[in-house]
Every structure is written in C-alpha cells, then in structure tokens.
Amino acid sequence: SGQHRVPRGAARLLAPVGDPQKVICVGLNYHDHCQEQAAKVPREPLIFSKFPSAIAGPFDDIVHPQDTSELDWEVELAAVIGKRGRHIEESVALEHVLGFTVANDVSARDWQMRRNGRQWLLGKTFDTFCPLGPAIVTREAVPDVHNLWIRCSVNGQRMQDSNTQRLIFGVPALVAWVSRFVTLVPGDVLLTGTPAGVGVFRKPPVFLKPGDEVQCEIEELGAICNRVV
C-alpha cells in the first residue's frame, strides 16, 4: 500500500538469511582467480563450508580477529536454496534456487593456508566472516545470472572487477554436484566462488586492517558495505 514504509536511514538491514542449516562454499571457481595464483582449473567443484554463525548483515562490521594478521576479502555471488532436493539433475537445478544475493567470503589466510593442517574451515568461519545481502533477488528477476559484473572495493579502491561469465562451474552444476552428497533444504546458502583480485595474491600482498571499508557489489543484486573493526 505504501502507507507503512520505514525510511531506509532509520532501519538496520539484517542478513536476508540469518540462520541457514548450511553455508556451502566453492573454491577456485573463476578462471581469472585460478590464473592469478597459477593454479590448475579444477575438474570437479572444490567444496568447503562456513558455520552459520559467520553470517553478518549487509552493513554490519567485520570483526578483525586478534588471531590473524592476514585478513582478506572475496566478493561472491550467493545462491539461496528454495526447494528441498537430493540428487538433483543439473537440467532442473535452478528450480531449486529461490534467488541470489551478495556475499563476502572473508578469509584469514594464515589459518586457511598454513595453520590447522591447511584445512580451510577455521580460516573461513570466524564470526562476521560472511556478510550477506542486501536482499534476496528472486531467480526470475535476474535476466542471466551467468552474465553479471561482480566487484569489490577497499576504501574506494577497486580490487576485484570481473563477470560471472568467468565462473568455471555455473549455479546449476554446483547445485547438482552438492546435492549428490547432502540434501539441500530451503534457506541453505551456496557461495559460488570469487574472481581475481584478492589481497593474498597481490604483489606485495594486501590485507585488511581495522578502519578499512569493504564494498562488494554485483550487477542486478546490489551492494553490501562493511567496516573492519
């Protein structure tokens, strides 16, 4: 009706999915991201996860843990599952997707790459390491999810600038692959990987510090902006 609107400035937007059963992530899923680290293109999707407690709102702070000195950014397209399924065929996989949103797969590179036996989980799942939002854009409202520009800026400086055309495994392939192993349920969040431009592979490496501001933006989906504290 338009009669019960709250001014945007008077409201705090929460993450559009606050407590999913699963936060599923994909590594090495952009051709340009493989190239920047001289990594071979994977033959199969590389799957890892975050705990739901990592989720933060689209404009909430990212808390810089005392346990890391190598905090990094990763803008990502996130798909939100809307229909339960197991062993989903790739040809119908998009029917199980409610919509899409913007994510930042914040990463403590020292914990991801050198510590904890080089298992990725701990370096990926500190609290606030998954800002999400600003909203879920329904699948039908996105003309082509595999042709969207995707960008990340730190303190106004463009760090990542790519297109979802460069995905190695598209959304249907990822949904079908993950569903071979686990049942996908409504509300599950699937982060589809990040393009080139992350801090750890710059020469010299660049890492986030308290006071920095990170903006992640995807065409048709909007932007999230988080301050590091």
Residue 5 has pLDDT above 90, yes or no: no
Q: How far, rounded to the nearest angstrom, does the alpha carbon of residue 135 sit from its chain's CA centroid?
A: 14
Q: What is the pLDDT of residue 3?
A: 83
Mapped onto helix, strand or coil, the DSSP state of residue 127 is coil
Confidence of residue 1 (pLDDT cuts 50, 70, 90): confident
Helix (H) / strand (E) element for 178: namely helix 171-178
Read off the pLDDT of residues 123-166 as tens digits, 9 standing for 90 and up: 999 999 999 999 999 999 999 999 999 999 999 999 999 999 99
Fold entry, domain 14-228: Fumarylacetoacetate hydrolase; domain 2 (3.90.850)
Sheet of strand 97-104, all strands in order from the earlier edge strand to the far edge: 46-50, 23-27, 189-191, 75-81, 97-104, 130-138, 55-56
Report the C-alpha gap between 33 and 107 in whole angstroms.
15
Cα within 13 Å of Cα(120), Cβ side = 15
- Assign 3-state DSSP to the chain and report helix, strand, coil percentages, each to 5: 20, 35, 50
Q: Model pTM?
A: 0.96
Task: Find, among 208, 80, 185, the residue nearest to 133 by Cα.
Answer: 80
Confidence of residue 6 (pLDDT cuts 50, 70, 90): confident
Confidence of residue 74 (pLDDT cuts 50, 70, 90): very high
The token pair at 86 is: 């197991």
Residue 2 has pLDDT above 90, yes or no: no
